[in-house]
Chain A
Amino acid sequence: MAGRKHADGGAEWWDAAAEDEDGTGDVLTPGGLTRRELLRLLALSASGLVVSGSLAGCDTALWVRQDVVPVDSWHKGVCRFCGTGCGMMIGVHDGKVVDVRGDELAHNRGRLCIKGVLNREILYVKDRATKPLIRENGALREATWDEAMALVARRFKESIAAHGPDSVAFYGSGQLYTQESYTANKLFKAGIGTNNVDGNPRLCMASAAAGYTSVFGKDEPSGCYEDIDHADCILLTGSNAADCHPIIWERVLDRKRSKPDTYVIVVDPRRTRTARRADLHLAIYPGTDVTLYNAFLHEFVRTGAVDREMVERYLKFQQAGTPPQPRTFAQFREHVAKFTPEKAAAVCGVSADAIREAAFRFARAKASLSLWTMGLNQQFQATASNRLVMAMHLLTGQIGRPGATPFSLTGQPNAGGGVRDTGALAHTLPNGRMVAKPKDRAEMEKLWGVPAGRISAKPGYDAVGLFSAMERGDVKCCLVMGTNPAQSLPNADRFRKAMEKTFLVVADAFHPTETTQFADVVLPAALWTEKEGVFSQSERRYHLVPKLVDPPGEARSDLAILVDLADRLGQGALVKARTPVDVWDEWRKMSASSKYNFEGITYERLQKERGILWPCPTEDHPGTKRRFVPGEDPLAHGTAGKDRFDFYGMPDGRAVIWLHGQEAAQDPASPEYPLRLATGRVLEHWHTATITGRVPALQDVPIDFLEMNAMDAARLGIGEGDRVEVRSRRGEVELRARVGDYVRPGVVFATFHSAKHLINRAVKETVDPISKEPDFKNSAVAVRRKGGPESNAA
């Protein structure tokens, strides 16, 4: 209407006024636009900008909420810490990892714990090893890679020439990538010809591995995390999941939130955060697990909860011993009849009613799940305990259905796939093969293309055995990779002396660590996303960690170090696969001939998918949630619906229920050492705190404490925060008392995170006779007050 002129001059007053107004408004601008046109154009453009901006996804701060941490690109990866193996999205900015977020599409549904969150910082904390170091005149000095590796190769060769291949060893880690553990195993067993390949999984998972292998014929749990969502009774035994597997614990809580009558039973001498949320907490006396589970089995028999079909078709019974003796169900019944709840109550220190209640809940739930970890695995009778928990499931048929499974949780991000599956332990070979079996050795020699007889028939040294051999001088050279045995081994002082005697090569991302101080050569290693590789967590899920940034200084990936060492030891031809992709392909194809078949998990799938659960024989196979179940597991024979199981790990397809009796504690209590010491973890720190101890945000999280029961504390005159000395037959440590109902009377607890107050000085190096895993949960100690909370010497 701009520029409208009224033709009728004799208009009435209202029109005239309008014209007047119009007249003043419609002054022509020099550009040919009237003021109105200009305003209208501006308004239109503005609204057009807003609308088109929003439609085109215009991400200005005015229009869309912004990220606080600027990120250039997001990449799919996996957490560096525990065996939960949470998927995460990793944000990179200017060539640095700056942010991580839980991956919504992974099994953890976007959740991470505090350690997971702080993955963003671990690459940039202090003390990263950046240059190779060589010990000269007692002190470590910087060296070139060539110098350091030449020295390592020379010393290894000399030792092999003078003392045989068994005088050298590899001590690895459940934190190395699968490719790295696989290559190390191959280099030492098929190249050098020694089975001295072991590692920290021996301190962690060996008992579960021995348990699964002896019960099912093959290692690794048969269930998956998804079973938590279907379980009606969840038994956590020897697991403080709330602190040690927080994301799995959240999933347990989710189940309880969704279905509040889900019954949670916790077996633990400590009143952990996990136990506090339980419906039933059995605070048994340490080392009495075998009695408790036998009492459960007794109750199953007594109350008619035994699954007859399981007994008739899928199970057999064996008395533990060398050699194991076959038993009948009747003999089994007789055996467990000795373990009445009343008798067990006297041994375990819990009420008989509580035992009956737990057994009833477990047997009669629609689906019962058990979760366990170090509390079960790090015991003198750890393999026995593992077997008996599995027996509870087998006998009641609580297995192979959604929600029903015996599930062991791993402590490290790649103890399962990297070490157990690749057979990187002293007594194993890849894919569930055993060193002791000639057929298995021959198969591996063929697969690896080495002459028959190259793989030694003699199993190597297990962790404690290895460091004992160093003490004796039987092992002269040892390559330690990605772990910190000087802090994590029991009876630390003894094995530190052994390390001093040995030519110790330590490849680690950090220096100094407790172990590098005994090293003759320190090799700087890349950490987490500074290198690429495959991890596998508790539920047999293989997943990929991508390389996103460059390692600091001259640090190299552990795979590169191993390949270099192979070349220098004249084993270059054996280690043909030299990149993460090539090694994975070799390993994947090798698995096809085994019961671990994951040939279908190609590198492309790992890059695309959120990990895949093996068995997975073909590229179009989605992965297996429940092993040994016909119809679900591609390797299981039988008709789905008709045949419930095919325990194909056993020649006769039957799983084993083992008969075990209770044995006495190996470090017996005495008037001088009346208390039992167990060690463990807190949520915020991880293992020897080599990484988490250096993250600034975690500096103030207390780790130097001794949990004790108020009754014991009162008896000993100890108050909250007092300086106390924990003393054992081996050594003593000073800590701060934390007094309350954290542990049952008679038990004290400390973390093994602290290098300053190293609790492993006091821990006895007892090992499980079957798995050779040390018992960190049951040492005899005495505690005395050293000073009040005000004195600051601790």
Chain B
Amino acid sequence: MKLEIKEKFIEKTLLLIAFSSILILALIASFIFGEGLPFIWKIGAIDFLFGERWVPSHGEFGILPMIVGSFLVTFGALLLGIPLGLACAVFLCEWTPPQAAMVLRPAIQLLAAIPSVIYGFWGLVVLVPLVRNYLGGPGLSIFSGSVILGFMILPTIISISEDSLRALPPSYKAGGLALGATHWQTIWRVLVPAAKSGIVASVILGMGRAIGETMAMIMILGNAVKMPSSFLDSARTLTTNIGIEMGYASGDHRQALFATGVILFFIIMILNSSAIVLSRRRGS
């Protein structure tokens, strides 16, 4: 009897422990929403989301420039990350001489492991002057941010895409080649479309990571509050908005930053849920 009670007890304890991640999520959501939602109620969601001026000292809290900034930086990062990432994934999967794999794989793992402050620092010291001198503008711009962010999300895209490609049944490739297609044609028209859902999942995860990046972006983007009008303009993302002003904010300003966090939270949840749905569908 005693044994059964003990077993039941352990099972219930484990059930509680298992809910810890949900609990933490709920805590995070409740605190962030608790501070941010009342603020959105107060000044009106339309004014908040579509206002173009962020001037807390005057009580103006429009985050549209930040939303646009996040969007542009992420878009630029994907522009760099998807072709490069897909190419590397295909390379690793199909075309590697063993020596090249031995070099490329550790390189990708390292890229994933490097802390974002180091990326930001490198961008600041190497990339920004280059952009300023050869492309114009202050150098601290969406362009520089996109390049760095692209390299930061590269490992995510590569590893998941590669796994999707590898998971395809060999008959796909054999079939393509048997029909007389060249290697490349097989890859491009058979394998990649077949692995589409995995690749798209990797892209969405990469996007999630890109939107959530803070430190490197604070260092490279320049953080101007105006709506950006070109890739060489400085801009601010939702994350850097919080990161830069959090320490200094109080009262309305702080609540506005939490509200920004709420919006960020929503966006990431939507992105992540779609990635989860897609990858579940691809079958595990």
Chain A bound to chain B:
no
- On A, residues with C-beta under 8 Å from B are none
